[in-house]
Structure 1
Amino acid sequence: MTEAPDFMTEPPNFAAPLTGPEGTDVLSDILRRFRVTGAALLRGEYSAPWGWDAPSADEIAAHLHTPDTRLVIFHIVAHGRCWLEVAGQPRIELSAGDLVGFPQGHSHRMGWGSGAAPFPIIDMFPTPPWKSVPTIRRVERGQVCRILCVYLRCEAPLFDPLTSALPNLIVMRAGGGASGFTDAIVRGLIEEASAMRAGSASFTARLTELLFVQIIRDHLRRSDPNGRGMLAALKDRFVGKALQAFHAEPAYPWTMPELSCRAGLSQSALRERFARVLGVSPMRYLALWRLQLAALLLRQNDASVADIAAEVGYDAPEAFARAFKRAIGTTPARWRNRVPVIE
């Protein structure tokens, strides 16, 4: 089996146990299941005029020999200025301290000046595994720009209500967050990637996970409460209460009358509100979330399929197996055997 880059270190699980519906932090619960397993960093130094094309996250993952994982890509401008182009959006200019993220893994182009033919950045990647943070240098006499590329490695979730609701492009300007915390993380990543002191690989892995969480939190703060997707759902007074109930007790045999009472809204109104904000009914959301939990449990331990079915709220293993295969396309046993067990 081909090795993944060495400069990918598994971070710890920071999530605290959940206690009850009223105190459940739904965002933390989803992030806890969205396992971040490591990060690969790449430094680049370019003098104007320059430009490069980056392929999709899936292509980069295959090049880094991690094809069964999902990459979330961020670029941090460490020095100088550059522009960014993403299909379907106007070109934007970036300066030192700015960060751009691509939650959906879209291809993109970066550069500065005119007249330079963009080169495929993936052709400049060192052969993995990367023992440290590699550097691409294409420097002559023009204005220099330094960029830190962050490739956050995650397990690809079967049901992803959070990042699927994020836009194709997220831009965070230096000093533009609600606090200085994001800027501090960005500065820390730039410094560690440059210095590569003892323990830097482990430290940067944790910083990238914190950065991912902070970007989502900042986007949640700025998102439209009347919009669509998980970020809007978390701000919705009624849908949010239903989500709290589901995430606190996913195995509980929830019914629409009980959920309606918990949310403080009629059944029909709650169904309509759920469908408008999340695109699915309350019971469909619960079913998908249970299957996501089951898929993780199948990879994390050797409990029987029947025990896992019961743990996520299924009375009959047969019903669980049918639902799992219908949603995922394979049986629980085959799903477990096709991937390595996570320690």
Structure 2
Amino acid sequence: MQSDQILISVIIPIYNQELYLEDAIQSVLSQDHGFVELILVNDGSTDKSSEICYKYIEQYDHIRYYEQTNRGVSAARNKGLSEVNGSYVFFLDGDDRIDRKFLKEALRIAEKNKSDFVAIGEDYCFRSKHIMALPTCALFLKMDFLRSHPDIRFPNGIQPCEDGLFSHQLLALTNQVALYPEGMYYYRQHDDQNHIIINKNTTKVLAQIPEWLEILKGFYLKNSLYKSHALHLALFIEHEPFELRYIRMPFEDPQKSFLFSLIKTFMQQHVMPFLCDNELTELSIPFRFFLTADDHKHFDEFYVNYQYKKTKKFKMQLLFIKLIPISKWRREFRKKVRKNYYKL
């Protein structure tokens, strides 16, 4: 296969995924679209992942394989990016798989809309008004766009949030984003997943968050984006360090106090001076209260009450749904209610 024939490059970073890796590879090989190259990057696996990779590169000339000492998922993805021949790139984790039509349809949408990004999956496309970041499973990316910003890559040594920081910066630099809500990425949940293991280590995650903020400060300053993209940045801070970390992680009281001050100080210094009143209303009620709270205990008291009222309303809505006579309407309304409940 000649490089000028390759339209899509799929990068799979691999670390000890022998149980699931063949499913991931086969899901790429079975794609309806033929002009695809597969780049396997083994990030120092100690299991039989390398044996699986060697088996496939012996059979298929459009699969390339690279090995490196264990340096983390960011380094593995960046290595894959440096070897891409395709016009578009997609990142598939070694323990997941994709639907047969996934790449063909993503390419069709990208070319039809002349997009730099295609956001994939209903869970991410419903936020299309303000997409502030995308995980790799929801990201189909044009390589010409990425090459025009060579300083933006996955941050080495960062996990979690490495994909959020990568996509957030790129999304700030383009309006050419198309949507593919029907895209089916099959996400495998198991106890050995890196992000599950990492998120249990509250000390490690908390130590990285100041690094996230330094990356953001450098990017927004370099590109003079504070004024024009204040809402974009605010929504990212709301989602990543606030919702996914402060709200959802089991931090101890001193850790919550530290993170509360860190987020609030960053917002006061780098976001709030540039955020318009109408943009402020785009933030969730809990996050707006967080920004005005006296301390983390003040916010936590509010949030417990907020969640109680929200859950009570949710249960009442579910009871009402049972009274809807048409099953199709019941399903649609139930889906909408559940989606709203899991928002902040």
Bigger helix fraction? 2
Kindly indicate whether structure 1 or structure 2 has the higher relative contact order, using CA contacts under 8 Å at least 6 residues apart. 1
Shorter-chain-normalised TM-score: which range? Answer: under 0.3
Q: TM-score, normalised by structure 2?
A: 0.25
Bigger strand fraction? 1
